[in-house]
Amino acid sequence: MRATENLKIKIVLFIIIYFLMPLGYSPAPAEVKLKSSVPGLCYECHRELKEKLSSPAVHFLFREGKCLTCHNSHAGNVKGLMDDVNSVCIGCHEKIRNLLKSQSVHSPLRDDLCTKCHYPHSGNYTNLLVNAEKDLCIGCHENIEAQMDKPYGCSPFKKGQCSSCHNSHGSSEEFLLISAPNKLCRECHAPRCRAGEVSIVSEVAVSDCTSCHSGHGSQIKGALGPYGHKAFLDKECSQCHNPITPGSRITTKKEGEGVCLDCHKKDDSQLKYVSSDIHVKDAKNSCVVCHDSHASGKKSFTASETKICSGCHEKTERNTAAMEKALKSVGCAPVKNRKCFECHIPMHSDRPLNYRDDEIAMCVRCHESQHKVTHPVGPNIVDPRSGGPVTCNSCHSMHAARADFMLTADRNRALCIQCHRM
Amino acid sequence: MKKSVFITGTVLISILLICGKFADAGTYLSSAHGNSTYGVKRTASGFPDYTKGLCAHCHEMHASIDGSEPLPSSGGPSSFTLFYSNHVSQTDNFCFQCHKDAGAYQSGGSIINRSYSYRAGGWNADTVNDTLESFSFTSPDTSHYLDDIRTFITGRWNYTADSNPCNACHNPHAAQGDPANAPGSAKTSGSRGYPVSRPSLHSSNDNNSWGLWGDSAGEKMSDYTSGYQAPYRFNSVVTYEPDGSTTQNGTNLTDYVTYCTDCHNNTNTISSTPLARNLNTFSWSNEKHGSGTADNNTPVGEPDTCSNIFAPYQSATCGTYVLACTDCHEPHSSPNLFLIRREVNGSTGSTVTVDSGTGSGPSGDPNTEWINLCNKCHDIAISDARHDHPATVPGGDAGCSSTTCHGPIGDEYRLCTECHKHGNNLIDAVAYGDYLF
Amino acid sequence: MSMKTLKYIVILLAVICTPADYGNTAISGACSTCHTMHNSQGGSAVATYGASGQPWKGTGPYDALTLGGCLGCHGSGAASNIDPVTGAPQVYHSSASADLAGGNFAYVLGTKGSGASDNKGHNVIDLGNLDNTLTGALAGPPGYHAPVSNFGSTLNCAGARGCHGIRSSSGGVKGAHHKNTSGKIDVADQTYNSYRFLYSVMGYENDGQVSASTKWQNFDASNHNEYFGATAPVVYNGDCTGLCHVAPIGSGGIKVSNNTMSGFCGTCHRAFHVINQLDNSQGIGDDTTSPFLRHPTDVILPNSGEYASYTAYNITIPVARTTVPSSMSSTVTPGSGTAVMCLSCHAAHATDNDDMMRWNYRSSTLSAAISGCNVCHTSRN
C-alpha cells in the first residue's frame, strides 16, 4: 500500500514537472562580452557612418549610438541586418503608422520603403529627407513642376513648400491634403468669390475651392483652372446661368442636363449619353454627377472618383482595399489610383459595368504586351464556367483578386483547373 | 625465397598467358580484311576516315555514307549492302574493286595477290600480281570461271544466286593473307595464313561455323595415312612447299584435296562455259595421284613411271602418295591449260608450259607439251612417252602406229590428256580397268 | 482485436494503398511550372539559359503558352537526367548522370562528351544549332524521299517537321502531357497514348516500375524500354498514301501504318526502311530475305547462324518485339518475336558518337568500332 502511494506521488510529480518545466525554466542568459561597446564597435567597421554624425540632420537614435534599436547584430531579413525597413521605422513613428490606415496613403510609403524619401541615419535636410522638399516631390510628380512657372498660384506651392498643404504620408482627404480644401484654403485665403460685380461668397461657402481654383498654378488670375469651361474662365457666367443678383440663388438657364446638352450635343460616335443609366436617372443634372461644371484639374472635367464612386460602391472599395492589402502589389494603375473612369463611364456606355470599351480591349490599352501573348481570349473562346467568352476578367479580378497578378485564384494551379479539368 | 619467387612468377605468367588466350581476336579480327593494321581500308571521295577493318569499308548500311554516295557512284545500292555489285562478270566483281594492282579503292590504290606458284612454290618470277589479273586470263590461259562457280554453288550449302562466286572458296570475314601482309613475298613458316574456307561448310551464316579450312588439326595434308610428300620449292632441293621450310610431310599444308573435292568429285556435275562441256568427274579416293594405289602399268622393258620418279618423291613409296591439288594446279588462274601451275616441284630446268595443247614438248615434238608437266616428277623423256599401250587399249600393242592414239598426221602425237586425265577409266567406252591418273 | 487480425488489416491497407497505376503517368503539379499566360513568369521574361542561344534561348511565346520550347522543360539545365524540381526527363543535360533512352542532345553542342558535332544527333531547332551538312547542298535528312521541300531546313522536336505529336503546325504534343499513358502502349491512336508521344507508335515505356530513378532509361537488361517492331517493313509501292501517310497528305497527320518504331523513322528516312518492289533506289530490298540492299529493319532476327546467339538483351543494341509486350524482358528470342530496328544501332536524340550510333563506330580501335555489330553478328568479331 505504501509502495503504491509512493508511486502515485511520483507519477503526479513527474506530470507536473514534465508540463511545467518548459514554461518556467530557462537558463540564465550568458554574459556576452563584446570586444568593445556599441556604437564604437560598429564604427570599427562602418567608419563612413561615423562621419555622418556631423550632418545637419541626424536621427536621434543614430546620434545616441543606439544602433541595435534598428539593426540586428547578427542577421536580418533585408540588407542592413533588419527584419524589415518600414516595420522598424513605423515601430516608433506611431503617427505615421496610424496614417497607414488612412483613405489615401502616399504610394512610396504604401508600396515602397521609407528610405525612398528619408535617410535613416543623417542628411542635409529636415526630416532626413533625401532631397530638398520641393525637389523630392517633383522628382516623382513631374507634371506639377510646370505649374510652378505659371503667373498665378498658391504661394506655398510656388515656394516648394508642399507639406504646407499635403501630408506626405497619408490623409483622409483626397490628394493627401492636410484637411478639406474648403478648410485648408481658408487658413490663408479669405473667400472673395464674385460673379461679375456680384459677390457669391455665401453661395460657395461650403464649396470645394478646388472646383474652381487650382491649388498649384494657373495662367488665369485667381488661379482658376487649370482646366475649365471656357465660359467660366472667360467669366461669361450668363452663358449657362440666369443673371446673378445679390442675395438670390444662382440658377441655370435650363433645368437638369439640358443646360449642358445645349452645347454638348449627343454624339454616339464618341461618347453616347445613356439617360437611363442608374447613376443619373434620379439626378437633377446627370452631367454634374461626374463632371465639374466650372474648373477642374483634369481635362475631362471629371470629378474625383474617390468622392463620387466609393460613396455608393462601398463594397467594391472594401474589396479593393482588402485586395491591396492581401496582394504584393496591384498592377492595375486605374484601380490602384482609384481612377474609376478609366474603365467605367456611367452614362456614356451601355456595356456591362459601364465599361468604357470592350472588356479585353480596355485592358489592352495599358497591357499591350500581355495581350500580345495571352491565354486564348475573345468571343470564340468559351469559359466553361459561365458559358460566356473568356476575357481578361475570366482570370483577373480588378477589385477582388485573391492571388498575385490580381488573379481570382492561385495561378500555379487552382485558377487553371477551374476550367482545365483533367 | 628464390623458389617462391619463381613459383609466383610462373603462376602470374601462366595467368597472363591464359588470359591472353581468352583475349584473342575472333575470326574476323584475325582475318586479312579485319586486321586493324593492314585490313580493309576504303579510300574514296566522301568516304570517312574509318578505322582499318571496319565493316563500312565494304558495307554501306544505308547504301550511302553520311547521306551521300561515295565513289564508286554506280556502286549502290548493292546486295549485302556492299558498295558495289557483288558479281557482274569474270572481270567485274565486288572483290576486284580492291583486289587489283591499280585503281583499287583500298588505301594505297592496290592490293597485290600472287599466284600459288609464287607464294607456295617460291617462284618469284611469276608476274601475275593481282586477283583481277588472275581472273582475266582467257583461253588458252585459264581461270576459275566465276559465272560457272556461281551457277554451281547456287542452291548448295546455303549459297544463292546472289552469292559472290569468290565466296565459294573464301570467307571474306575469315580469310587470311597467305602469306599474311606480305603480298610481294613467298610464304615462310612465320608468315602463314589460311585463306580458304570449305564451301560445303557454308551451311549457315555463321562466321565460326564457316571458318577457315586448314588452320586446325584434321585439315592438313599430313592427315592422309598413305602419306603426303611436299614438292620442292622453286629451284631448291632442300626446301619444300608451301612455306619454304624443311617440313615435307604436309603438316603445314591445308588439306586441299578435301577442300577441292567438295566440288570436284565424282558426283557433282560442273558445267564449264570456257570448255563448253561439263568437267570430268573423278574420285580422288581412287585416282592414282590421289588415294588410289599407284602402280606400274608399263610393259616390261619400258621406263617405270613410278620407279623413275624425281625427288623428293621416292620410288620406294611411289604407290602411296596422295598429291594435293595445289601441287599441280593454281587455285585462281594460270597461263596454262586447266590451271596447271607454271612451276611444279621446284621446276628445275624450265617452267611448265601447257598452254595450247598443240605446242611442242621438250624435244620439239608437237602435242607433247604435257610432258612438261609430267616430267617435273616422272622421269620420262619424250621418246618414252611413245610408250606401248596395254592390250586393252584399242590398237593393242600397235604403239604409235595406231591412229586411235596418235594423230592422223605423220608422227604428230595425240594429246596425252585424251587418255591421261582425271577420272578417265574409260577409253572409247571400253573399261580400261584403272585410273590413268 | 487479435494481433493476427491486426496483421491482416495492415497487409490489406498496404495493398490498397500501394500505388499500382503505372499506366497513367499524366503530368501533375503546378500549371505554372510549365505554362505562362503572358510570356512572362513572375512578371519577368520567361527564364532562358544558355550562351549564344544554345541550347535554347527563345523569346517566346511558345506553343500552349509553355515557359519555353521543349527544351525549356526537357533541357532545363538541371544537373541530372531528371529535373529535381519539375520531375521532367532531361533529353539535354550536361551532368554525369546517365543519358535517357533516347540519348542526350548535349552531345551535339559538346556540353557533354567528346566535343560538339552536328553528326551526333538530330539537330532540332531548339538546340540553336542548325545542321551544317543537312542545310547545305544536300538538304533533307539522309534517306529522305522527294520532294525535299517536305523537310525544310529545320527540324523540330514536335509538330511540323518534328517527331513528337501530330506533325503539323497546329498539332504537336498539344495536351498530351496531361493525358499521358505509360507502360504498355498498344493503342496509339492519339498522341498521348502513343509511345513517347510519337504519334501512332506502339511500345512499352519504361515507367519506373523497377526504379523510379531509372525511369525513361534503358538502364539494364531487365529495366529498359521495349520497342515495337514488325516481321516486315511497310511496302512502298510508289504511293505514300496508306503507308506512312495514313492520314491524307496535307491534313497534318503522318501516321505509321504498322505502328513500329522503325516505320516511324522511315517516315522521314524512308529509303532506309521500306520494302520496295519497284526499284532499288529506296528500301532494304524487295522482300525480307537476304540479301538486303540496306541494313534491314523490322525484320526478324533469325534463329540461325550467328544471330541465334543473341539471347540476352543488350541495352547497347536493343531489339524490337513484334508483339507489344506487357512488361520488360531481359531475354531475346531470335526467330520469334524479335526484330532488328533503326534504334538497334542509332539513338533517337543524340549520342556521343557520329551518326547517333549507340557505340563508337568510328573508334580507332577496330574491336571497339565493331562491338555494336557483334551483338547481333556474333561471329563477326
> Looking at chain C, which subunits does it touch, using at least 3 CB pairs closer than 8 Å as the criterion?
A, B
Using a CB-CB cut-off of 8 Å, the residues of chain A touching C170 are none
Using a CB-CB distance cutoff of 8 angstroms, which residues of chain C are in contact with residue A413? Answer: 29-32
- Band of the pLDDT at B426, cuts 50, 70, 90? low
Residue B254: pLDDT over 90: yes
pLDDT of residue C177: 92
Mean pLDDT of all residues in A373-382: 93
Kind of pairing between the strands at B426-427 and B430-431:
antiparallel
Scored b (16 or more CB within 10 A) or e, C107-117 reads bbbbbbbeeeb
What is the reported pLDDT for A292? 86
From the list C1, C2, C60, C73, the residue with the least C-alpha distance to C31 is C73
Q: Mean pLDDT, chain B, as a whole number?
A: 81
Q: Which of A375, A377, A381, A411 to mutate to test the interface with C (most CBs of C within 10 A)?
A: A411
Q: What residue type is A138 in one-letter code?
A: I
Higher-scoring residue by pLDDT: B129, B424 = B129
What is the DSSP annotation of B203-263? Answer: TSS-TTTT--SSSSTTSBGGG-TT---PPBPTT-SS-BTTTTBS--SSTTSB-HHHHHTTT
Is the pLDDT at C364 greater than 80? The verdict is yes
Longest dimension (CA), chain A: 112
Question: Cell numbers 531547332 label which residue?
Answer: C125
What residues in C contact A415, CB-CB < 8 Å? 31
Q: What's the confidence (pLDDT) of residue C15?
A: 39
Question: Which residue from A373, A411, A415 is facing C60, i.e. has the nearest CB?
Answer: A373
A16 has a pLDDT exceeding 60: no
pLDDT, residue C140, reads 79
Residues B139 and A420: their CA atoms lie apart, in Å, by 86
Which residue's C-alpha cell is 541615419? A121
A117-161 pLDDT tens trace: 999 999 999 999 999 999 999 998 888 888 888 899 899 998 999
Residues in B closer than 8 angstroms to C367, CB to CB, are 25, 29, 36
pLDDT band per the 50, 70, 90 thresholds, residue C48: low
- Element of type H or E holding C162: strand C162-164
Provide the 10 A C-beta neighbour count for residue C262. 30
Q: Is the pLDDT of residue B293 over 80?
A: no
What is the model's pLDDT at position A211? 84
Residue in chain C lying closest to B211 (CA): C379
What is the rounded CA–CA span in Å between residue B332 and residue B115?
Answer: 8
A127 and A118 Cβ atoms separated by less than 8 Å: yes
**pLDDT for B22 beyond 60:** no
* pLDDT score at C1: 47
- What are the pLDDT digits (tens) for A242-259? 999 888 889 999 888 888
* Nearest-CB residue to C370 (from B55, B80, B208): B55
Cis bond before residue B179 (omega within 30° of 0): yes
Chain C residues with CB-CB distance to B26 below 8 A:
374, 379-381
Q: How many residues does chain C have?
A: 381
Question: Could you tell me the pLDDT band of residue A196, with boundaries at 50, 70 and 90?
Answer: confident
How many C-beta atoms lie closer than 10 Å to residue C72's C-beta? 22
Q: Kindly list the partner chains of chain A, i.e. chains with 3 or more CB atom pairs below 8 Å.
A: C
Q: Average pLDDT for residues C67-94, to the nearest whole number?
A: 90
Query: What per-residue string of b and e applies to C265-297 under the rule 16 or more CB within 10 Å gives b?
Result: bbbbbbbbbbbbeeebebbbbeebeebbbbbbb
Locate B291 and state its grid cell: 588415294
| Residue in C26, C37, C60 nearest the CB of A422 | C26
Q: Residue A279 pLDDT > 80, yes or no? A: yes
- Complete DSSP assignment for B36-95: TTTS--B--TT---PPTT-GGGTB-TTSSBTTB-PSSGGG-S-GGGBSS-SEEETTEEGG
* DSSP calls for B249-316: SSTTSB-HHHHHTTTSSSS---EETTTTEEPPP--TTTSTTTTSPP---SPTTS--TTTSB-TTS-GG
Low-confidence winner among A372-381, B81-90, B383-392, B419-428 (lowest mean pLDDT): B383-392
Number of H helices, E strands in chain C: 7, 12
Instruction: Residue C306: list chain B partners with CB under 8 A.
Output: 204-208
Tell me which amino acid residue C14 is: A
User: Stretch B295-321: mean pLDDT, rounded?
Assistant: 70
CB spacing of C30 vs A413 below 8 angstroms: yes
Q: Pick the range with the lowest mean pLDDT from C125-129, C193-197, C334-338.
A: C125-129
CA distance A359 to chain C (A): 17
For C26, name the nearest residue in chain A, comparing CA atoms only: A422
User: What is the C-alpha to C-alpha distance for residues A234 and A294, in angstroms, rounded to an integer?
Assistant: 11
Tell me how close the Cα of C328 comes to any Cα of chain A, in angstroms: 29
* Pairs across B and C, CB distance < 8 A: 114
Decide: C359 and C372 in contact? Cβ < 8 Å: yes
With cut-offs at 50, 70 and 90, classify the pLDDT of residue B306. low
Tens of pLDDT along A70-126?
998 888 888 888 888 888 999 999 999 898 888 788 988 887 789 999 999 999 999
Measured distance between the N- and C-terminal CA atoms of chain A, rounded to whole angstroms:
69
Residue position matching grid coordinates 499521358? C180
Cα–Cα dist B8/C189, whole Å: 68
Tell me which chain C residue has its CA closest to the CA of residue A367.
C38
- Res B349: pLDDT: 59
Instruction: Give the pLDDT score at C111.
Output: 94
Q: For residue C3, is pLDDT > 80?
A: no
What is the distance between the alpha carbons of residues C362 and B66, in angstroms, rounded to a whole number?
13
Return the higher-pLDDT residue of C22 and B226. Answer: B226
Residue A162's pLDDT is what? Answer: 94
- Per-residue pLDDT, averaged over C39-63, amounts to 76
Q: Is the bond leading into A384 cis (omega within 30 degrees of zero)?
A: no
Map grid coordinates 476550367 to a residue: A419
Q: A415 to chain C nearest CA, in Å?
A: 9
Find which of C138, C293, C355, C362 to mutate to test the B interface (most B CBs within 10 Å of its CB): C293
Q: C316: which 3 cell numbers?
A: 547497347
| Residue B177 identity (one-letter amino acid) | G
Give the span between the Cα atoms of A234 and A64, in whole angstroms. Answer: 60
At C7, the pLDDT band (50, 70, 90 cuts) reads low
Assess contact for B78 and B85: CB atoms under 8 A. yes
Residue B419: CB atoms within 10 A of its CB come to 17
What is the predicted pLDDT for the residue at A270? Answer: 61
**Residue B359 — pLDDT band, cuts 50, 70, 90?**
low
Interface of A with C (CB under 8 A): 369-370, 372-375, 395, 405, 411-413, 415-417, 420, 422
Residue C361 and residue B56: Cβ atoms within 8 Å?
Answer: yes
User: Mutating which of B81, B173, B201 best tests the C interface, going by the most C Cβ atoms within 10 A?
Assistant: B81
pLDDT at residue C288, as a whole number: 94
Chain A residues whose CB is inside 8 A of the C59 CB are none
More confident call, C52 vs A121:
A121
Q: Which of B408-417, C10-19, C230-239 has the highest mean pLDDT?
A: C230-239
The average pLDDT across C104-115 equals 96
Check whether A306 has a pLDDT greater than 90: no
Peptide bond into C291 cis (omega under 30): yes
According to the model, what pLDDT value does residue C10 have?
Answer: 44
B20 half-sphere exposure, CB direction, 13 A CA radius: 6
Residue C134 — φ and ψ, nearest 5°?
-75, -15
On the question of pLDDT at A28 being above 70, the answer is no
Cα separation, C171 vs C254, whole angstroms = 11
Average confidence (pLDDT) over B348-360? 64
Q: What is the pLDDT of residue C66?
A: 87
Q: Which three cell numbers stand for residue A286?
A: 446627370
pLDDT band at C19 (very low <50, low <70, confident <90, very high): very low
Q: Which residues make Cβ contacts (< 8 Å) with residue B395, sequence separation at least 6? A: B389, B401, B402, B403, B404, B405
Chain C residues in contact with A395 (beta carbon < 8 A): 37
With CB atoms and an 8 Å threshold, state whether C32 touches A413.
yes
B vs A contact (3+ beta-carbon pairs below 8 A): no
Count CB neighbours of B116 within 10 A: 25
Model confidence at B299, in pLDDT bands (50, 70, 90)? very low
Name the more confident of B39 and A293.
B39
Phi then psi for A218, rounded to 5 degrees?
Answer: -155, 160
| Strand ranges in B50-103 using DSSP code E only, listed in sequence order | 87-89, 92-93
Of A370, A417, A422, Cβ closest to residue C38? A370
Cβ-based contacts of C35 with chain A (< 8 Å): 416
**Given a cut of 80, is residue B387 above it in pLDDT?**
no
Helix (H, G, I), strand (E, B) or coil at C286: coil
pLDDT at B141 (0 to 100): 87
Q: Which pLDDT score is estimated for C74?
A: 93
| Average pLDDT of every residue of chain C | 86
Does the pLDDT of residue B191 top 50, yes or no?
yes
- The answer to whether the beta carbons of residues C108 and C125 sit under 8 Å apart is no
Cell 562466321 belongs to which residue?
A: B207
pLDDT at A347 over 90: no
Residue A107: the pLDDT is: 83
Segment B357-379 mean pLDDT: 70
The chains found to touch B (3+ Cβ pairs under 8 angstroms) are C
Confidence check: pLDDT of B391 > 60: no
Which is higher by pLDDT, B57 or B139?
Answer: B57
| Residue B212 pLDDT level (bands cut at 50, 70, 90) | very high
- Whether C133 sits inside 8 A of B66 (CB atoms) is yes
Q: Which one has a higher pLDDT value, B73 or A22?
A: B73
Q: What pLDDT does residue B19 have?
A: 39
- The reported pLDDT for the residue numbered B18 is 40
Query: How would you class B163 by CB atoms within 10 Å of its CB: exposed for 0-12, middle for 13-18, buried for 19 or more?
Result: buried
CB contact under 8 A, B52 and C307: no
CB contacts < 8 Å between A and C, how many? 38
Query: Within 13 Å and on the Cβ side, how many CA atoms surround A21?
Result: 6
At residue B350 the predicted structure's pLDDT band, cuts being 50, 70 and 90, is: low
Q: What is the average pLDDT across B168-174? A: 96
Touching chains C and A? (3+ Cβ pairs < 8 A): yes
Q: Residue A224 corresponds to which cell in the numbers above?
A: 482658376
Would the pLDDT of C374 be above 90? yes
User: Collapsing DSSP states into helix, strand and coil, what is residue A203?
Assistant: coil
Partner residue facing C32 (CB), from A369, A372, A412: A412
Confidence of residue B147 (pLDDT cuts 50, 70, 90): very high
Q: Residues of C with CB below 8 A from A405's CB?
A: 43
Chain B nearest C-alpha distance from C143 (Å) = 7
Q: How many CA atoms lie within 13 A of B55 on its CB side?
A: 22
Question: Which residues of chain B neighbour C355 with C-beta distances below 8 Å?
Answer: 66
Q: What residues of chain C lie within 8 A of the CB of B29, using their CB?
A: 366-367, 381
**Per-residue confidence band for B153, with pLDDT thresholds at 50, 70 and 90:** very high
